[in-house]
Amino acid sequence: MTVAAHAPARGLTGPDAARLLAEHGRNEVAADHRVPLWARVAAQLRDPLITVLLAAVALTLAIGDHPDAIVITLVIVINTSVGVVQEVRAESAVAALSRLSAPAARVVRDGVQRTVPSAEIVPGDVVALTEGDIVPADARLTEAAALLLDESMLTGESLPVTRSADPRAPGDDAVRAGTVVLRGRALAVVTATGADSALGRIAAMLRPRPEPTPLQRRLAGLGRVLAAVAVGLCALVFVLGLLRQQPPGEMGVTAISLAVAAVPESLPAVVTLALALGARRMAARHAVVRRLPAVETLGSVTVLATDKTGTLTEGRMVVERLWTPRSTATVTGLGYGPAGGIRIDGTTDGAVQGAADGAVNGTADIAVNSLLTAAALCNDAALRPPSGGDGQWGALGDPTEAALLTAAGKAGLDHRRLRETHPRVAETPFDSTRKRMSTVHRTPHGGLLACLKGAPETVLDPTVLADPPELLERARRAAAALAAEGYRVLAVAEQDLDRLPEPPEEAEHGLRLLGLTALADPPKPSAAATLATCRRAGILPVLITGDHPATARALAVRVGLLEPGAGPEVVVNGQAIATGAVSDLTRARIFARTDPRQKLDIVQAWRARGAVTAMTGDGVNDGPALRQADIGVAMGLRGTEVARQAADLVLADDELATVVGAVEEGRRVYDNIRRFLVFGLSGGAAEILVMLAGPLFGLALPLRAGQILWINLLTHGLTGVAMGAEPVSPGAMTRPPRPPHQHILGSGVWQRVLLLGLVVAAASLGAGLWAHDAERPWQTVLFLALLAAQLGTVLGLRERLLTRANLFLPLAVLASAALAAAALYLPFLRDVLDTAPLSWSDLAAPAAAGLAGFAAARLRKQGI
């Protein structure tokens, strides 16, 4: 709820705060409604294939086949249980990540500053903000001193922004929930909390996504087809049997058994196993899968929309280039740690060697030393050595100033010693109007040194600098060139003083230019390789950021997302989207200065073109787009709670490369599902062909109902499920994604099903006819041949025939073969299945059928 902002010195009273809390509610963004267990189970059972299996249970119970009914029921129970357990575990993992956020804030109540839970802050509260605090609610500043905020989680803008309580700067006195105080202190009156805050308004754009995933759409279509086929087969086989004057009861049982066999009832188990294994592998690679279908969906992604800060970049400012009137230099190394150095461009060895006292040799080196010394003195930040097990250096204060300290350290300068030998005696803080900061220091020799840094447009001015006009012009051209490359440029100057200026602003005249520093949030070392892998896999990467277009373009070129000579039309800014100036959002590759609504528009534009979209993000501003995309990927470490709750996949290591691993896992899952369908449906087709064609060759009733169900149990049971654990195909990441609307049996799969079905049926019938003519137990030979041919097919379909990556599959085939033998040689099973024992010579025909199935599968093993 929004209120008028006023800041009484004593703040709210305790009773007033309690009344307002009851009136406006807790300062929380409503989390996703927790789904009850029964609803999760019901959602799993609504799957079309599960519906078919429920019908199959009813049919098998109707014919008295209780063992098969139990097996099918077990498949349904396992599938449902794994899906529900995975969802619950994922929610628990995300909840654990959400506990990393700060839960408390400081407020003034009854004239005393106290710490209260952020959820209990109300409109009208006076909030005290200091360095490192998370702003707990929307508020208006009443007091502010050198206040610098990181708003990247809310706006996507990587550079910090200044805020002041100056009434002459409308809008600069507003601070918003979820932003972080990098420097300074402030008092602010809360104006909006919970759902009425900026964070809450973005969260309100999050709506449950009703559309099913690509895999769910494909399996739903297949389920409908299989259901129709099952019903049709029941009727066809029953009618043909009656026409051949077979007993109606026996034909009814046979028709139902064949219909059950035609449906690969272990498909849901195969899908669930494949997805669960993918989710487990992703967890080992620092990802949390919130919904199992998300793993496969990544395998179908055609467009990857990635944000910039913290995803493609380090999320830390780094000085990369230096310019002085005498030379230019390159700074190496990432983060705030001391690793790296400074190379003077054009020298032979290129290394700046720092002496113990921080001095460096050579004219060019002295210029760089002076530049970085002044930058380190005119600085309020501090570096924090590694304190945990990650070995990462941290920073306190403005990231830009921390980057300057880091660069100074790489030149051999010790900023702590500099501050001890050059104590600060006066300062003029940075503000958004002047865009510069100056400090005055006492030198070791008793003199005074003024240091200044700021935006080039405010420093490279004759009223500030005493340098010749031609030098200022050279510096302006250099600053413009660096800015065009996407750098944030700061100019640094100094002068010696005879006396302490009064007021301190007087020190900002007559200075000497030392040079320019060019800072950037550098790309992660893995970014370019990750995007290259995406392109090889046929995935189009696009960049969506709140940063300046020039900054976004420069990064895109550095990581290979854009060619250096790409035209201006590939970069679009949010204002152009808002005004409708861009007719086709899918033509652009870089989107800069975007707000949450525009991110949503971009994702919707790609989806309208039929693309399967993945969206990565970490900020509150990314939440709506994460929810709208086919799959949302949130950063677990840097990400906000809103982003994590909106996502399907949470990356615990914040690495985009993990997404590429998930894409590979998704393609493995999809390949294994299609491989199983080739196996299962070709076997079902073969059984149908045997039952329909057998009578034409004199085999009155080729197979009995029990024999059909036993074959179905052994092939679609452990053997079929084991196919879901097959390793990834070697070429999985060098082929384009599946077309979004391609049927799961498309791209030649159904033709292959028919071809294998014909081969298996022909080989099996051949074995049965040979046995019939030789007056052997032909029905048992046909039964065993049909089973052997399908087991040969499953081995032939392996992408890597002799791999040890999935020993479960050959072991399952051996177990199925043993159970097939048991059906012939164990008296109990022999009586139930109406089989007869076979001699060694009788086994030759089924063995030949198995080899035929294996050979047919190996001839065209590609194309799954």
Question: Which residues are designated catalytic?
Answer: 307
Tell me the H-state helices in 422-573. Answer: 456-459, 469-484, 527-536, 549-558
Contact (CB, 8 A) for 379 and 441: no
Tell me the H-state helices in 411-463. Answer: 415-421, 456-459
Structure tokens, 217: 């759409």
CA 564 vs CA 320, 336, 555, 567, 616: distances in Å: 19, 29, 11, 9, 24
d(Cα 146, Cα 164) in Å, to the nearest integer? 8
d(Cα 619, Cα 798) in Å, to the nearest integer? 43
Burial class (CB in 10 A: 0-12, 13-18, 19+), 170: exposed
Structure tokens, 421: 């030998």
Q: What is the CA radius of gyration of the chain?
A: 35
381: three-class secondary structure by DSSP? coil
Residue whose entry in the numeric block shows the structure tokens 């012009």? 473
Question: 592, 516, 515, 588: which is closest to 551 by C-alpha?
Answer: 592
Structure tokens, 98: 């959400």
CA 750 vs CA 266, 589, 677, 687, 691: distances in Å: 19, 37, 9, 16, 20
Residue whose entry in the numeric block shows the structure tokens 């008793």? 446
Residue whose entry in the numeric block shows the structure tokens 């097990």? 389
d(Cα 491, Cα 579) in Å, to the nearest integer? 36
d(Cα 169, Cα 793) in Å, to the nearest integer? 75
Tell me the H-state helices in 587-655. Answer: 596-608, 623-628, 641-646
d(Cα 264, Cα 673) in Å, to the nearest integer? 11
CA 541 vs CA 340, 562, 596, 736: distances in Å: 30, 10, 19, 13
d(Cα 329, Cα 332) in Å, to the nearest integer? 10
Using the Cα atoms of residue 159, residue 162, residue 168 and residue 169 in order, give the sign of their dihedral. positive
Would strands 394-396 and 138-150 be described as parallel, antiparallel, or unpaired? unpaired
Contact (CB, 8 A) for 705 and 779: no
**Residue 855 CB coordination number (10 Å):** 14
d(Cα 82, Cα 73) in Å, to the nearest integer? 14
Residue whose entry in the numeric block shows the structure tokens 């693309």? 611
Task: Please spell the DSSP secondary structure of 153-180, one letter per residue.
Answer: HHH---S-EEE---TTSTTTTEE-TT-E
- Cis peptide before 846, with omega less than 30 degrees from 0? no
**Residue 188 CB coordination number (10 Å):** 28
Please tell me the total number of residues recorded for the chain in this structure: 864
Contact (CB, 8 A) for 112 and 101: no
553: three-class secondary structure by DSSP? helix
Sequence-distant (6+) residues with CB within 8 A of 66 are 60
**Residue 115 CB coordination number (10 Å):** 10
